[in-house]
Amino acid sequence: MLAAKNLSKRFLDLQALQDVSFEVPPRSIAGVIGPNGAGKTTLLLSVAGFLPINAGSIYWSNEPVWANSRFRSIFFYVEDAVRPHAALSVSSVLQFYACVFRRPQTLLDDVIDQLALRTFLCSRVSELSKGAVKRVLIAVGLLSIQPVLLIDEPFDGLDLRQTLELTPMFRVVADKGRTLVLSIHQLRDAERVCDHFVLLNNGRLAGTGTLPDLRQIAGAAQTSSLEDIFLALT
């Protein structure tokens, strides 16, 4: 179980997060959703330990985890809109991370094929399109060994077909024992892939839980979509 209790983060006069608490059951896919500027990326960075929090605690398996150990043993964070090792080939980058995490070649080959990266293996990361870079980043995340995988905007830059193909991949990863926390801008994508949600608004928690839980919080009909709930609570 991943849990956050009363997380708060301030940047000078900006209160980016205020008393945010939530729980994500093991083998779940949680979607962090909210309007632009709601604090989604700040939340992921704070949970991962890359941003110092002003107050609050992070728990894994009912034990508190501290910032200097989170990203080494518990969390692996996949950032959005970066080009890792831009001068290297895709093959070199993926081989490097497979070696770091001691992953077998068979797993690396599976990840490459599932994300349709084989045609890009000889290309430098700097030469890739936005969508191809995103798939490389996700591949690195899938090769990591930490029990919790945090991904900022996993579908950004992907077309509809690629998004639909990635969704069952995430479910397989969760079913095999990892917990996924995804910051997602497109609510339809979030509703398709996630079984739990953390809804932020202006740095505060507007609702958390399953889709039925959010419907109850919003006082919405049982047929209400995540978009309907989002509009009701933000």
The per-residue pLDDT of the chain, averaged, comes to 94
Distance CA 162, CA 142 (A): 16
pLDDT of 71 strictly over 80: no
Going by pLDDT thresholds of 50, 70 and 90, the confidence category of residue 69 is: low
For 191-218, what is the mean pLDDT? 96
Tens-place pLDDT, residues 6-63: 999 999 999 999 999 999 999 999 999 999 899 999 999 999 989 999 999 999 999 9
Please write the tens of the pLDDT for every residue from 150-172: 999 999 999 999 999 999 999 99
Q: Are 40 and 34 in contact (CB under 8 A)?
A: yes
Angstrom distance (rounded) from CA 107 to CA 133 = 20
- At residue 81 the predicted structure's pLDDT band, cuts being 50, 70 and 90, is confident
Q: Which CATH code fits 2-81+146-233?
A: 3.40.50.300
d(CA 229, CA 209): 12
Decide if 6 contacts 19 (C-beta within 8 A). Answer: yes
- CA 88 to each of CA 77, 83, 85, 91, 129: distance values in angstroms, whole numbers, following the listed order: 21, 10, 6, 8, 15
pLDDT for 70 equals 66
pTM: 0.94
